[in-house]
Amino acid sequence: MAIRNIREIGDPVLNKNCKEVKEITDRTKELINDMFDTMYDAEGVGLAAPQVGILKRIVVIDVTGDSPLLLINPVILETSGEQTGYEGCLSVPGKSGVVTRPNYVRVKAYDEELKPFELEGTELLARAICHELEHLDGHLYVERVEGDLVNTSDLYEEEEDEE
Ligand code: ZN
């Protein structure tokens, strides 16, 4: 188990285009394992390779805590609907912002043997897929935020007040 250093907003590596994965080496497998470890350690629902400083088109996602997904060279095939809600990013620690995303996405990606597969997601999974895939093209969700970024801790306090 190895936790890698998560790059934060302002680090130029987060604004670069990632390269396609053409072969899976031992180093690629180690990277994938470390990305899962790093995501779970940071209690995130997704992590893209550039967030640990590697410019490869690899994304890990787990929106439930026990449904790990690995997407290599992912491409969005179809989107529909709309959802608007708060979103955060491990590279923008402590902050959240409102972003509108599709409510459904269908992606094509490759697994650890570079075999192609398709995946559908709705709601949080659709949001996570869209968010993580943008990292591979050098974009952060803050570019899309409607209104201001807020402190995530304030957000939770507001939710508690409503109860
Ligand atoms: Zn992110």
Report CA(158)–ligand 1 centroid distance (Å). 23
pLDDT, tens digit (0-9, with 9 covering 90-100), for 79-103: 999 999 999 999 999 999 999 999 9
Q: How far is the CA of 119 from the centre of ligand 1 (A)?
A: 20
Rama region for 15: left / alpha / beta (φ>0; ψ in -120 to 50; rest): alpha
How far does the centroid of ligand 1 lie from the alpha carbon of residue 101, in Å?
14
The better pLDDT of the pair 9, 158 is held by 9
The answer to whether the CB of 72 falls within 8 A of the CB of 109 is: yes
Active-site residues, by number, are 132
- Cβ atoms of 46 and 58 closer than 8 Å: no
